[in-house]
Amino acid sequence: MYWNPLPTVTTSASLSRANYENQRLGSPADYLRGEWANRDWRNVPGPFYGAGTDNCWTGRLIAPEHVIYEDDFGAEVVYRQPRNPHEVRLLLSAAYDDPLGAYACDGDEHWTLSKVREWWADRNRLLAWIDSAKREWSAGTSPEDRDAAAGLRDYAAYVANGLETDLRQYGFWLEHRRPAAPTEALPELV
């Protein structure tokens, strides 16, 4: 069942940052300033995405189950949308640490079921990129390279098992603005 993370974002100003319990996140408008036009194509469909973030590779330190790095500039990409308030806090904390403020959570205003289907239809391009970048980073000797490769392995595993169902649930959400009831059919992606 699709879970809408946006109510948690709306009330997140009082949340403490992940790894910094004495520091509050503050207003999401202060650090979620990414623009759809700059969204990286490797972001998975959903409300959150990276759009030209910094290349300091800090996102996986906070939200490794949600963030990977692209290999062009090292910018951060959201590969899994949050599924509960704790995961929203982690992703928001990663976004907070981006000095460019280039994460965003307005994807619901841009994605449509048709666009989700187009993104899914192009997944072989994504998997080819994952495989190429993973091979390059796996050959690296630094802990950062190994972590980047691990993130890509996680993304490939998610594409193979789980992402299609999540996208079908998200597609239903986009069409109806509510989660599907157990008896309702989810839209197909092909």
What pLDDT, in 10s, does the model give residues 68-98? 999 888 899 999 999 999 999 999 999 999 9
How is the chain split among helix, strand and coil, in percent rounded to 5?
A: 45, 10, 45
What pLDDT, in 10s, does the model give residues 101-149? 999 999 999 999 999 999 999 999 999 999 999 999 999 899 999 999 9
What pLDDT, in 10s, does the model give residues 18-60? 766 678 888 999 999 999 999 999 999 999 999 999 878 889 9
pTM of structure: 0.94
Backbone angles phi, psi at 2, to 5 degrees: -70, 135
Angle, in degrees to the nearest 10, between helices 163-176 and 143-160: 70
